[in-house]
Amino acid sequence: MEIGTIEPVGHDVLRPDNVPADRVFDFDIYRDVPEGSTLHHSWRALMDQVAYPVMWTPHNGGHWVVLRGDISDVVMSDSERFSNHTVLVPKETAGEAYRLIPLSLDPPAHQPFRKLLNDNLGPKPLKPVESKIVELTVSLIEGFRPNGQCDFMHEFAEKLPVQIFMQIVDLPIEDLPKLKHLADQFTRPDGSLTYPEVAHLFRDYLMPVIAERRGGSGEDMISRMVNGQVGGRELTDVEAQNICMQVLVGGLDTVVNLLSFTLSWLAQDHDLRRALVADPALIDDALMEFLRRFPVVSSSREVRKDIEFEGVHLKSGDMVMAPTIVVTLDEDNNADPLDFRLGRKARKHSTFGRGSHTCPGAHLARMEMKIVLREWLARIPEFRLADGAELRFTNGIVGSVKPFMLEWDV
Ligand code: HEM
């Protein structure tokens, strides 16, 4: 579609000289998925419609979008050509406000901060958290099981990972709604706050927490990070705020959405659900397939220097969106990618990213997902979407399923 046919609104821009007219398409990452489609079907349809695997949209400040798996992986991981300095669109607003650590740092500056995170999110430091996850999962499920129904997002998905997370960082559970609302504004803004306001409110919240924990002997993740060393020195206040913000944003939204995709799928695929109930040993393989089938993140990179790339001239400062979603949906990576299949021989996906910024929270996320699958299926083996419930989906930097009701017989 030519730029002239797209009604300019908000952050839309005119087509720059380096963008050929036939590379322009009408794509807005923050637009709801059309009724009757799903997040992943709508991305697949987009991949089928476009003439080239690298397209350009005038929305959200104007940016390139990659629609083929191998190219997405290159953009995400080639820090020589594609910088992490800005990872969100629109660049001037969301991108500017989201200069968080370590995601907005390129190597070598990235490594010491990343080490701090790895030290806190690996299997060893998280071992004591496992029993807490089981405990909370069981108590949430048992809380609504006698009702024969639940609002999955609000009564379960939003509670479990975020409550666990609040324990890991040792923040009061009463602050959760405020923090969740702020985290959501980065990835799926509802217009209630501008990006600078979101960053400001986050910093206001974190400043006293960091000040209080500095120099202390707390074992929570924030204490360990703000008292850690980067390249032989302490973190500055701003660095400490930025790394804490990054962990909050990364850990509050993604697992919630992956859980929603997973349970809403199980509510509809009765054969799969019954197979997992009959043989819980299949849960490990099912988890790998859920992770493959339901990537949710669409991050971007900033072009460092003018380059020729996939038949187009990219200019220094151009933004390129490299959705993890297209990696899974590429037929070259997974045959019949929209099919959910146990026992797939080779699964290729970038659900947790690619390259040096690959998600440090992956172990925690997998652990939570596995416990939920096991405990839920053992307690509520038969369930379905509530009568008349039709799933709706939202695109965004982190794609999501809108709240839905599950029901079962009691
Ligand atoms: C299923 C759940 C999750 C998914 C799908 C996911 C996905 C991702 C992806 C795709 C990236 C790379 C982004 C990029 O390169 O632009 C990333 C980075 C990151 N994630 Fe996750 N994530 C999940 C859970 C978590 C959790 C639970 C935490 C924290 C406890 C976390 C913290 C982070 C951080 C701090 C980064 C930045 C790493 C860096 O820049 O080196 N994530 N995640």
CATH of the domain at 375: 1.10.630.10
pLDDT at 3: 39
* 167 has pLDDT over 60: yes
| pLDDT digits 0-9 by tens, 175-207 | 988 888 888 887 778 888 988 898 899 899 999
- What residue has token string 């070598």? 108
pLDDT at 161: 85
pLDDT at 13: 83
pLDDT at 144: 98
* 123 has pLDDT over 70: yes
| pLDDT digits 0-9 by tens, 63-116 | 999 999 999 999 999 999 999 999 999 998 888 877 889 999 999 999 999 999
pLDDT at 6: 44
pLDDT at 5: 40
The atom number, within ligand 1, closest to the CA of 324 reads: 10
Give the closest residue (by CA) to ligand 1 atom 29. 251
Which range has the worst mean pLDDT, 17-21, 37-41, 180-184, 333-337?
A: 180-184
The residue ranking higher by pLDDT, 236 or 148, is: 148
Q: Which residues contact 342 (CB under 8 A, 6 or more apart)?
A: 272, 275, 282, 285, 286, 289
Distance 181 CA to ligand 1 centre (A): 18
pLDDT at 162: 81
| pLDDT digits 0-9 by tens, 277-323 | 999 999 999 999 999 999 999 999 999 999 999 999 999 999 999 99
- What residue has token string 């200019």? 315
| pLDDT digits 0-9 by tens, 218-263 | 988 889 888 988 988 989 988 988 888 888 888 778 899 999 999 9
Segment 204-220 shows an average pLDDT of 92
Which residue segment(s) compose the domain that 273 sits in?
3-407
Q: Give CA–CA dist 274/280, Å, rounded.
A: 10
Distance 368 CA to ligand 1 centre (A): 14
The atom number, within ligand 1, closest to the CA of 113 reads: 41
Distance 361 CA to ligand 1 centre (A): 6
**Among residues 177, 158, 165, 337, which one has the least CA distance to residue 260?**
158
Q: Give CA–CA dist 300/75, Å, rounded.
A: 8
- The count of structural domains within the chain is 1
Name the pLDDT band for 8 (thresholds 50, 70, 90).
Answer: very low
Burial of 49 (0-12, 13-18, 19+ CB in 10 A): exposed
Give the closest residue (by CA) to ligand 1 atom 13. 353
pLDDT at 10: 58
**CA geometry: angle at 9 spanning 4 and 13, to 5°?**
60
Give the closest residue (by CA) to ligand 1 atom 16. 299
Residues lining ligand 1, CB < 6 A?
A: 76, 87, 102-103, 114, 117, 121, 246-247, 250-251, 254-255, 258, 296-297, 299, 324, 351-353, 357, 359-361, 364-365
Asked if residue 117 lies in contact with residue 359, where contact means CB atoms within 8 angstroms, the answer is no
| pLDDT digits 0-9 by tens, 377-400 | 999 999 999 987 789 999 999 999
